[in-house]
Structure 1
Amino acid sequence: MLQRRFAWVLKKSQSHPEFNLTSNVYEHDKLGSKLIHLDKADTHKAFAVMFRTTPNDDTGVAHCLEHIALCGSQKYPVRDPFMKMLSRSLNSYMNAWTGSDFTMYPFSTQNSKDFSNLLSVYLDASFFPLLSYQDFLQEAWRVEFVNDKLQYKGVVFNEMKGRASDPNEYLIHNIMKESLPGTCYENNSGGDPLSIPNLKYTDLQNFHKNFYHPSNSTFFFYGDMDIKKCMDELEVNALDKFEKININTQVGIAKKISTKDQIVLKVPPDAVPTNPNKPCKYAKTYVCNDISEDPYTTFLLGIMSTALFDSQDSPMYKSLLESELGSDYVQGYGYDFSIRQGTFTIGLNGISEKDDKKVEEAIIKTLQKVVETGFDKTLLESALHQCEIRNKEAKENYGLMLISSMIPFTLHSQDPLIPLKLNEFVDTLRAQLAKNEPVFQELITKYLLENTNYVRILTVPDSEFVSGLNDKETKSLLEIQEKLTGESSIKINEEAKELLLVQNKEQNVDLLPTLKVEDIEKKSKSVKYSQETVIGGMPVKYIIQPTNGISYLRLKTNIYDLPIELRRLLPMYRRLINSLGTEKHPYNEFDIIKDLRTISGVASSYTCKSENETIDRHSEQFVMKIAFLDRNIDHAFDILTEFLTQLRFDEHEHITNLIQRSVKRRTEDLLDSGTSYGSSLATSSLTSAANSYESLDILKHDCNLSSQLMNTTSGPKILDDILSKLKQIHSFILNKSHLEFLVHTSEEKNQDLISEKLSFLENSLKTTYSNFEIPRPPFEYPKFDPFVYQTYFKLPIQVNYIVEAFIGTHFDSEDYPALKVLCEIMSMKSLLKEVREKGGAYGAGARVDSSSGTIVLSSFRDPNTLKTFNAFEKSIKEFCEGRFVDRDIDEGKLGVFSKLDKPVAVYDKGVGRFLYKIDQEMKQRYRERLIAVSREKIVEVAKKYLEEPLKKGMSSKVIFGKEEVEEKELKNAGWKVEVPIDVISNK
């Protein structure tokens, strides 16, 4: 029987005990809107409103609208209320997503008042945006005169111009375009930079009118909330102002692919071609099932994808990667059900142009073999185990994770709750496998081997690709300029002036709802150890919290005194160890065992952090983490013991392949990681913590290593030396005097069992390593003397990543909280306006890096270079002169507290205390100082840490940017211009 709640009809209610929640699906009886409430006893609440937005061209109208809708609304006519709410709330997440066929506006928070505030802003932005012409010019695109020449500008234009340089993104877009003809997926929903200037302002307005309507929307609510009250807010703030419209935005089925000829696609070159003899990519994409018809088949294809690819014992891994046909799978490989028709992509990076047929043959032979013999049962069990873990593990924003998993089914099927049917699907599959039904053989035959609806693409790098795009852009601008009349030229200049006036106009942000500093919890939340003990001389801490039946064990060890000859190999050691075999099991078998009994084996990381009392010293620690279902404690400790005591460093060919693939992946990421690498390099010149493992230096070292291993003469000798050093690092790390453990588990009874297992582990380590019980001698790290960088790194990209770094202070300093507030205000009040709105960068901000003890100002996907550094200096001057108001301080504090109190995953609670010795007293002291931050203190730290170093030339400046730079201008300004990494060859 249907139940009524206001204008909403409850269509379906169901309990999901395995997820500890109840789902309720409603439909609005007047408008036809859908509402899904995932009712769970979780104070971390989440919301999202989603529209199906299907583009019919490459102008990026959906992407532009996502930006412009957040630039002010009827109730909140404030420029960019979305960004301004970041510092007026305690949100744990705020964003907007544009997909191939949808646009979604999600947020989450733990504060009930904050939830209502954000809901009001989001609803008004979605349904009643101002969509002003000036916002269109700023966010989408415009032309402006620069030195008497026209230039395209606009935030979305610059973002997509940057993405156009990425060969992986270009390939993925073309796979979708070629495999799904006749659908919206042929079009670039983000926008092609050559087509974005075809978007008219009226097109944007009409797109909003047609698609951003309640009749084309779904509302998601997650968490412990009064859904009745939320429904009331939806009505009052949005829905009662609409009438139902007949709108059909359903995505159609693609036409059959008409040709089987291989497509040769010219693409931008990789940032650093790790092997110039193998610069190509090959992808074969099959169009599979309609996800709206049979969700069980969708589930099966996902499991099949995991079994085929994701283990070192997987069939595709063996035939495609171990054979060295290519360096790695193509991005987007495997089964994709994010759109109406699922697709299955198999392909490789790093192949030679003539090897495409070999790759095709290897794919077919591998699939035929699986059909003939079936999957190994252990491989399937491990795939099912990993599937169970992914859905069971309570990560830091579980609500939004769950909502995002429902997107394709909400858009394209009658049942949005399909992701909650996991156990049902698993039980059905296990029953079929128990009867020896050829489930996956039939799937491979139907959707891959006998499926003629596929596309094959071979990419060939074109060194002229980026310059060709620039030439087309220049030609387009010249055509516009040639057609200009005196009147239209005046109009362009007037629009630029008007936009600048609007950008500079003071905003009445008091119109926006806000939390107040007094709404903030005054006391710091503490996580107490349930037990602290010592096992075999090794300290062990336990934290008991609800973990959905999963236990997490961390091992940390001090590596501050790691010998200098081993230090540069530590990052490579971390990347390799979880992929190696043992004396008992070869790497492929050990990989399966880990996937079957743990969550992805043994994860590892290293941390370098300035001490809490000074930035002149720092700590360095190596951390290993293993996670497992409570029922697998015995198996997990067997795996951990085998991993720590029997790891093999003599698998020469395998380790060589792993190194090559690691380097390939990271160099490909270089094009889109300029801010990360720039920040690492700039800060590395300022403090010892940042200098320890600088990421660009590590990448250069590993690229050189990869190049040397290709040399058939010297390669084997170099590899022997590497393997010997990796083994030394492993032994060095496992020193009893530096080992400490942290365990998160859900039940007290697990403590005794885990303690017993740790005792056995200690005994195994003692008998394996002769130096295990020998304390390492005291070590004093050399004194670090700061210096500065001023370097421009040229890359084949069309926009820039800009960083300026300053020496900051340590965590327990009285200045540290004021610096945090300063950077928060600087980001929202100044850099957002100067660098993003006026300069056209996709984003900009200031932050305090607590690990390195530095302050970082940065922008990304930025069309400017030196102009942005001028904007940084202008911002610093404003704050040194006190040009901000008390409201800015309150908002800055809220922004800092929203990050400080952001929910963390259960397995990360207490980690700050364990790794960095940030105790409860120190946390509370920081919190009190943060609340007490004053105007005078902000001005003081702005002068001390930013203005004074600027005058002394003690800030580091780094740009990762486009190749077409004015080198003379930069060099005159004292810049060093170089490429980030020398091209690797087979010399």
Structure 2
Amino acid sequence: MKVELGSVYNGFKLLEIREIDEINSEGMLFEHEKSGAKLFYLKNDDDNKVFSVSFRTPPKDSTGVPHILEHSVLCGSRKFPVKEPFVELVKGSLNTFLNAFTFPDKTMYPVASTNEKDFCNLMDVYLDAVFYPNIYKYPEIMMQEGWHYELDNKDAEIIYKGVVYNEMKGAFSSPESILFRKISESLFPDTQYGVESGGDPDVIPELTQQQFEAFHKKYYHPSNSYIYLYGDMDIEEKLRFLDEEYLKDFDRIEVDSEILAQKPFDKQNEVLIKYPISNTEKEEDKTFLSMNFAIGKATDVEVYLAFDILEHLLLETPSSPLKKALIDGKIGKDVFGSFEASMLQPMFSIVAKNSNESEKERFKDLIIQTLTKLVKEGIDKKLIEASINIKEFQLREADYHGYPKGLIYSMKAMDSWLYNEKPWIHLEYESVFRKIKTALNSRYFEDMIEKYILNNNHSSVLIVKPVKGLSEEKEALIKKKLADLKKSLTDEQIEKIIQDTVKLKERQVTHDSPEDLKKIPLLSINDVDPKAKKLPLVEKEEGIKTLFHPVFTNGIAYVNMYFTTEGVKEELIPYISILSTVLGKVSTEKYYYEDLAKEININTGGIRYIAQAYAEKGNSEKFYPKFIVKSKVIIDSVDKLSNLLCEIIGHTKFDDHKRLKEIIQETKSRMEMIIFDKGHIVAANHLFSYFSNIGKYEDILSGLSFYKFIAELEKNFDNKAEEISSKLKEVSSLIFNKSNLLLSVTLEEKDYDKFKKNFNPVYNELGDKPAAVEEYKFEFGPKNEGLMTSAKVQYVAKAYNFIKLGYSYSGSLQVLKAIINYDYLWNQVRVQGGAYGSFSAFQRNGNMFFTSYRDPNLDRTLKVYDEAGSYFKSFKVDDRQMTKYIIGTVSDLDFPLTPSMKGERAVENYIKKVTYEDIQREREEVLNTKVEDIQKYSDLISDSMKQNYLCVLGNEEKIKENQGIFNEIVNIFE
């Protein structure tokens, strides 16, 4: 379609056209004349198309109405009246992304797909959801997704229930989450950023149905919308669809959704926040200190990018001067930063974790002293070059960890578009980088520190301190409040709550009619390619076994070294993980560790070290433990990468005890964050250690057993320093041998010889010890632990290995997983139970699990797991529903892979002994799955659950209430 400025296409007037060379796209800005809807299209040849419709949604309070509405509009609409169109889409779409996001000032509804028909279906369902939701028809939607009083009979206690209510109870259990949610409140108390858009659990129950509906009426109008399209598509046809199906029915109106700016402070604001810890934890060294600054406007392109680089420079590398000063000053055991730019006034934060309130003044003074010194004496130019290079490398690579790049570009567009600027200003980075690079011979960053930090009174200091018994105190207050409420109610009012509860539960268990289900658009099996995609892999024997993956990489070489660690003794397994955190962060013979970090970031796109294990397909016992050195580099700099790898692998010094202690403290701190943030995965993985070789190994290597190990090391470091150094040297010498190495290289065919010639020095640096294999004698048994924390919710897991029970793996198990996740568990654990989520998995080695996320329940959820087998014995759906589950499963199998991901997936399959024939067979088994196949798995599920291996991570009181379920009750944190 050839377009002209000022012309109108299907109701949309073309306002501007812009070539955006940095992302190889043409940007077109439209406005729908009748409705006032704004539309930005990024035209390019990417077949992974993205659509998003977003709204400005500034909240006035912390009831979480934008967040609850984000959940609720996806619970049925005019054209698609089923209870959960979102879930029906997930079950039966080839989407590459499908979700929704609540930000502090906007709500986004993005979808992506490589299939044209599917893409149009997704657009249709999402547009109908936001403009014509069923929230006005069914108050039960807000009750379910937001909050409600639950009362089963007049003698029972009233309780609060709701998906967002429990999600935010979980979020407000994590001190890191509390910290980052309160930073914006401390900096912008008079604006939309001074309240909690996600919802504060203490305030969520103040939201009424009337306020809920009014918020939608006000903000969810096309005049307040931002529509985004990306990829290779017929834009004229998409504009016609938007106009005819939706926008032509709306008239332009004025929507007061202005995003307010906070008036600058005259002096620094100080805020004290408390967070709960369990009664058995110590309060010492558990305070968070943060100093925060409001930094200009998000529409200032230069500050937006430069401060991102400055935050990295000051706080994110081993050579970062501010991080080093705070660690050396023993202010906290972990230091990190944040630059949050997805808001009108971006925030820069400096955080010290595992500190104490008494260190507050020293924390403030040391930050100011360090930054003043940097301004006065100048920042090391190599450090500046390193941080600029690593950020530029990331932008040019455009690899966003599996997220469609079109989705990331939509978020960057909103960072200016929402604030009345052009949507492409943050996508055009070349000219900005040229300005920023003047920092290499000027006072660019020094002046920035002086202006935006040292001379900026618009700042805050947050102290987030632990308090024992706070959680129990809060729960007791809620119980009393609800008990007092019940006493104050008339019999009629109590009966009304009971009837509302009954009505909600009836809706939750009532199946959608077949007629309504058929209204959700569905692809056919014929829309699915019956052939699995082949991953690029060429085996080369050149002294070292090499797996070459010839794909277009835009001039980047992805080089991964897989060292087997089978020769490491059982008692040394945790040191493999410590080695992965230490390498590149301690000194070598040639470089002091700060200089090493600079050299890595100047000359490469990064070097990372990962310890993990791969299970052999179809084998419940056999696994392959690996130590992976992952690196990426521009092909012309492979020689520089080789020199750095030689230095790190062959000449790392493990005897700097001060530095080792700092790294161990940071490692422990980061694991604590994972335990709070990903408790469902932590519990499920720990559960595998009860019965599985690979589960036990990975638990010792990087799971909860490793956390206990690292916590013990940190506590007794001074007595163990020499031993730690000695064991790291031993493990390093055992791993880095030619006999252990499998090399993986992802790059273009034409560049392979250049790579090979420049990478040879690395082989010469490796030892010549023959490969060794240790026989691990792990002990197993149903420990069935209750892992107690101060969290207000649970993560409930149950698991076993079905191959041990005589069953075998089939692709049909992946269809079963889709049905369990988006039908059985979704309805039982999320919709009816009020948990934020629940998941299952069935692996090729036989390990399977059920797990829940931010779950208010414990024994009820375990009962749901135990009854799953019976449910599937009588499982019955029609052909259309079965097709839906199959297509949804294929969506997971066909997730688009970046060049680096293609190489990594190919190596993973190679190590696991998964052939292309296995992958094709799995696909055929998925495509040919019948209802009877799913029914047959009822025994597999029942038999696995009957083994009664369970693990729960969660609230101390809840676990103690249910202590009869557990064989052991354990405090995770000291």
TM-score by length of 2: 0.94
Asked if residue 934 in structure 1 is aligned to residue 935 in structure 2, the reply is: no
Once the two structures are superposed, what CA deviation does each residue of 1:362-401 show, in whole Å capped at 9, x if it has no partner?
1111111111122211111111111112211232321112
Residue 21 of structure 1 is matched in structure 2 by 25
1:633-658 Cα shifts (integer Å, max 9, x gaps): 22111112212111121111101110
Instruction: Please say if residues 849 and 856 of structure 1, whose CA atoms lie closer than 8 Å, have aligned partners that are also in contact.
Output: no
Match of residue 730 from structure 2:
728
In structure 1, what is the Cα distance between the partners aligned to 2:228 and 2:942?
Answer: 47
Q: Which amino acid aligns with 2:179?
A: L
- Select the residue among 220, 239, 255 that pairs with 1:231: 239
Is 1:890 the counterpart of 2:891 in the alignment? no
1:15–1:23 CA contact under 8 A, matched in 2: yes
What code does the residue aligned with 2:586 have? Answer: L
Change (3 A) 1:878 1:278: closer
Q: Which residue of 146, 171, 174 maps to 2:179?
A: 171
> For structure 1, which segment, 297-306 or 796-805, has the greater mean C-alpha deviation from structure 2 after superposition?
297-306
Unaligned regions of 5+ residues in structure 1, if any? Answer: none
Please tell me the residue identity of whatever aligns with 1:328.
D
Give the equivalent residue in structure 2 for 1:90: 94
What is the one-letter code of the residue matched to 2:288? K
Amino acid at match of 2:87: M
2:959 paired with 1:979: no
- Tell me, yes or no, if structure 1 residue 412 matches structure 2 residue 403: no
1:551 matched residue in structure 2: 557
**Amino acid aligned to 1:67:** H
Query: Counterpart of 2:553 in structure 1: which amino acid?
Result: T
Partner of 1:906: 899
TM-superposed CA distance for 1:361, in Å, is 1.1
- Partner in structure 1 of residue 364 of structure 2: 360
**CA offsets per residue over residues 695-736 of structure 1, 9 Å max, x none?**
69844444444444444xxx4451211221111221222222
| Residue number in structure 2 paired with 1:304 | 310
Q: Which residue of 1 aligns with 2:683?
A: 678
1:663 touches 1:699 (CA, 8 Å); kept in 2? Answer: no
Gaps of 5+ in 2: none
CA distance, structure 1, for counterparts of residue 370 and residue 146 of structure 2: 46
Relative distance call for 1:865 and 1:733 in structure 2 (3 A) is: same
**Aligned residue type for 1:864:** N
Are 1:399 and 2:399 an aligned pair?
Answer: no
Q: Which runs of 4+ in 1 moved over 6 A?
A: 270-273
Question: 1:276 Cα shift?
Answer: 4.6
Deviation at 1:76, TM superposition (A): 0.2
Aligned-partner Cα distance in 2 for 1:68–1:733: 52
* Cα shift readout 1:150-198 (whole Å, capped 9, x = no counterpart): 1001111111112222222222222211211210111110111111111
Q: Which residue of 1 aligns with 2:125?
A: 121
User: What is the DSSP-based 3-state SS (H/G/I as helix, E as strand, rest coil) of the residue aligned with 1:578?
Assistant: coil
Q: How does 1:591-606 map to 2 (within 5 A)?
A: 591-600=597-606, 602-606=607-611
Task: Report the Cα distance in structure 2 between the residues aligned to 1:90 and 1:399, rounded to whole angstroms.
Answer: 17
The residue that corresponds to 2:432 in the other structure is 425
Q: Aligned pair 1:215/2:223, yes or no?
A: yes
Paired residue secondary structure (1:528): coil
How far apart, in 2, do the equivalents of 1:608 and 1:320 lie? 35
Secondary structure of the residue aligned to 1:979 is strand
Q: Any conservation in 1 of the 2:113–2:119 contact (CA below 8 Å)?
A: yes
Q: SS in structure 1 opposite 2:468?
A: coil
Within the alignment, does 1:78 sit opposite 2:82 as a pair? yes
- Distance in 1, matches of 2:387 and 2:160, equals 48
Matched, 1:108 2:115: no
Name the CA distance, whole Å, in 2 between partners of 1:968 and 1:54: 41
What residue is the counterpart of 1:489 in the other structure? 494
- Quick one: structure 1 residues 704 and 562, their matched pair in 2 at CA, closer, same or farther if it must change by over 3 Å? closer
- Post-superposition offset of 1:441: 2.2
Greater mean deviation of Cα atoms: 875-884 or 447-456: 875-884
Q: Please list, as runs of the form range in 1=range in 2, the aligned pairs for 1:618-629 lying within 5 A after superposition.
A: 618-629=623-634
| Alpha-carbon distance in 2 for matches of 1:806, 1:892 | 24
RMSD: 2.2
Name the SS of the counterpart of 1:418 in structure 2: coil
Pairing of 1:752-763 with structure 2 (within 5 A): 752-763=753-764
Q: Write out per-residue CA displacement over residues 564-609 of structure 1, whole angstroms, 9 at most, x where no aligned residue.
A: 2311222222222232221100111100111111122x21223323
Q: Which range moves more in the overlay, 258-267 or 157-166?
A: 258-267
The match for 2:580 is: 574
Are positions 1:255 and 2:263 aligned together?
yes
Q: Return 217-226 or 733-742, whichever deviates more.
A: 733-742
Alignment of 1:456 with 2:461, yes or no, is yes
1:798 aligned partner: 792
Alignment partners' CA distance in 1, 2:100 and 2:296: 29
2:536 match? 528
Distance in 1 (alpha carbons) for counterparts of 2:972 and 2:97: 36
Distance (whole Å) between structure 1 residues aligned to residue 246 and residue 279 of structure 2: 47
Q: Deviations over 1:391-418 (max 9, x none)?
A: 1123232111222222221211412112
Aligned to 1:820: 814
Query: Which of 282, 290, 298 in structure 1 is aligned with 2:297?
Result: 290
Cα deviation, 1:651-702, whole Å, max 9, x if unaligned, reads 1110111001110221243223221111012222232222211169844444
Partners of 2:713 and 2:720 within 8 A in 1: yes
Equivalent AA in structure 1 for residue 465 of structure 2: V
- Structure 2 residue 921 is the aligned partner of structure 1 residue 925: yes
Describe the superposition over 1:743-797 as per-residue Cα deviations: whole angstroms up to 9, x where unpaired.
1113x332112111232222232xxx3xx2x422465555x78643422222101
Question: Which deviations, in whole Å up to 9, do the C-alpha atoms of 1:482-540 show, x marking residues without a partner?
Answer: 221111111111111111111121213211011122221101111233x54333x1022
Letter in 1 for 2:566: Y
1-structure distance, mates of 2:352, 2:582: 21
Alignment check: 8 A CA contact 2:580 2:610 kept: yes
Q: For 2:170 and 2:536, how far apart are their aligned partners in 1?
A: 46
CA deviation profile, 1:411-467 (whole Å, cap 9, x unmatched): 11412112222111011233x446x44222222222111112222222221113212
2:640 & 2:773 partners in 1: Cα distance?
A: 37
Counterpart contact for 1:559–1:733, Cα < 8 Å: yes
Query: Structure 1's 968 and 387: CA in aligned 2 closer, same or farther, altered over 3 A?
Result: closer
- Which residue is 2:660 aligned to? 655
Output the CA distance in 2 between the equivalents of 1:335 and 1:845: 32
Q: Distance in 1 between the 2:303 and 2:276 partners?
A: 36
SS of the residue 2:867 aligns to = helix
Does the alignment pair 1:67 with 2:60? no
Residue pairs, 1:256-335, within 5 angstroms: 256-257=264-265, 260=268, 262-269=270-277, 276-292=283-299, 294-329=300-335, 333-335=337-339
Counterpart AA for 1:40:
N
- Equivalents in 2 of 1:779, 1:652: separation in Å? 29
* Aligned partner of 1:632 among 595, 614, 637: 637
Distance 1:914 1:700, change over 3 A: closer
Q: Cα gap change, 1:708/1:647 in structure 2, threshold over 3 Å: closer, same or farther?
A: closer
Q: 1:809/1:758 Cα in 2 relative to 1: closer, same or farther (>3 Å)?
A: farther
Equivalent residue number for residue 154 of structure 1: 162
Quick check: 1:181–1:255 contact (8 Å CA) kept in 2?
no
Equivalent AA in structure 1 for residue 752 of structure 2: Q
Q: Percent identity between the aligned chains?
A: 28
- SS of equivalent residue, structure 2 residue 427: helix
Change in 2 beyond 3 A, CA 1:109/1:468: same
Residue correspondences, number: 956
Contact 2:147 2:162 in 1 (8 A): yes
* Aligned position for 2:57: 53
Contact 1:287 1:341 in 2 (8 A): yes
Verify the 8 A CA contact 1:271 1:667 in the aligned structure 2: no
CA 1:303–1:948 in structure 2 vs 1: closer, same or farther (change >3 Å)? closer
Residue in structure 1 matching 2:40, options 33, 36, 51: 36
Paired residue for 2:394?
390
Cα 1:895–1:459 change in 2 (3 A) is same
Return the alpha-carbon distance in structure 2 between the equivalents of residues 366 and 122 of structure 1: 50
Instruction: Tell me the SS of whatever aligns to 1:579.
Output: coil
